[in-house]
A and B are shown apart, each in its own frame.
Chain A
Amino acid sequence: MSEAIHADKVMDLKGLPCPMPVVKVSKGIKEVAVGQILEAQTTDPGSLTDFPAWARTSGNEIVETIQENGIIRIFIRRKV
Chain B
Amino acid sequence: MDQQMREDLLKLFQTKLNRAMVYYLETCTRCGVCTTACHVYQSMPQARYIAAYRAEIVRRIYKKHFKGQGKLWPSYGEAKELTEAALQELYDAAYSCTGCRRCMVYCPFGIDTQMLMSIAKLLLVGAHAEPEILTLLADTSIEKGRSLEFFKEGFLQGVKNLEQKVVEKWKLEAEGKTVIPVDVEGAELLYVALAGAHSIIPAAAVFNAAGENWTLSFFEAVNFGAFVGDPTRTKLILDRIVNEALRLKVKEVCICECGTAYRVMKQLSGTQPFKVSSVTEVHARYLREGRIRVSKKAFEGQVVTYHDPCQIARNGGVLEEPRFILQHLTDDFREMAPDPRYNYCCGGGGGLVALGEDTLDFRMKSAKVKAEQVQKTGATVLATACENCHTQLSDLNRHYGLGLNVQFLTSMVADALVVS
Contacts and interface: CB of A to CB of B under 8 A. Distances in A.
Given A18-B220, A48-B157, A70-B161, 17 more contacts: A17-B196, A18-B194, A18-B258, A19-B195, A20-B391, A22-B136, A23-B137, A26-B136, A46-B196, A48-B155, A49-B195, A49-B218, A49-B219, A50-B195, A53-B140, A53-B144, A56-B143
Given A22-B137, A53-B143, A44 B154 contact: no
Interface in B218-255: 218-220, 222, 224
Contacts of A48: 151, 154-155, 157-158
B196 A18 contact: yes
A70 B197 CA distance: 11
Contacts of A44: 158, 195-197
17 contacts: A15-B198, A17-B198, A18-B258, A19-B222, A20-B391, A23-B356, A45-B159, A46-B195, A48-B158, A49-B151, A49-B154, A49-B155, A50-B140, A50-B220, A52-B147, A57-B139, A67-B157
B200 interface: yes
A22 B258 contact: no
A65 B155 CA distance: 11
Interface string B135-178: 01101110110011011001101110110000000000000000
Nearest to A24: B356
Contacts of A46: 155, 158, 193-196, 199, 220
Interface string A54-80: 101110000001010010100000000
B195 A21 contact: yes
Sorted from nearest, which 8 A-B pairs have the closest CB atoms?
Answer: A46-B195, A45-B158, A48-B154, A53-B144, A53-B143, A49-B151, A18-B194, A54-B140
Interface string A13-45: 001111111111010000000000000000111
Interface residues of A, number: 29
A43 B199 CA distance: 12
Contacts of B150: 52
Interface of B: 133, 136-137, 139-141, 143-144, 147-148, 150-151, 154-155, 157-159, 161-162, 193-200, 218-220, 222, 224, 258, 354, 356, 387, 390-391
A48 B156 CA distance: 9
A53 B143 CA distance: 6
A58 B138 CA distance: 12
A53 B193 CA distance: 17
A17 to B, nearest CB: 5
Contacts of B148: 49
Given A48-B151, A48-B155, A53 B141 contact: yes
A57 B140 contact: yes
Contacts of A45: 155, 158-159, 161-162, 195, 197, 200
Nearest to A68: B161
A3 B167 CA distance: 31
A49 B387 CA distance: 19
Nearest to B158: A45
Contact of B140 (A20, A22, A65): A22
Nearest to A74: B154
A28 to B, nearest CB: 12
B155 A15 contact: no
Contacts of B157: 48, 67
Given A15-B198, A45-B200, A53 B161 contact: no
A14 to B, nearest CB: 9
Contacts of B151: 48-49, 52-53
Contacts of B159: 45
Contact of A17 (B139, B218, B220, B387): B387
A47 B195 CA distance: 6
Contacts of B193: 46
B57 to A, nearest CB: 28
A17 B133 CA distance: 16
Given A48-B151, A48-B154, A23 B195 contact: no
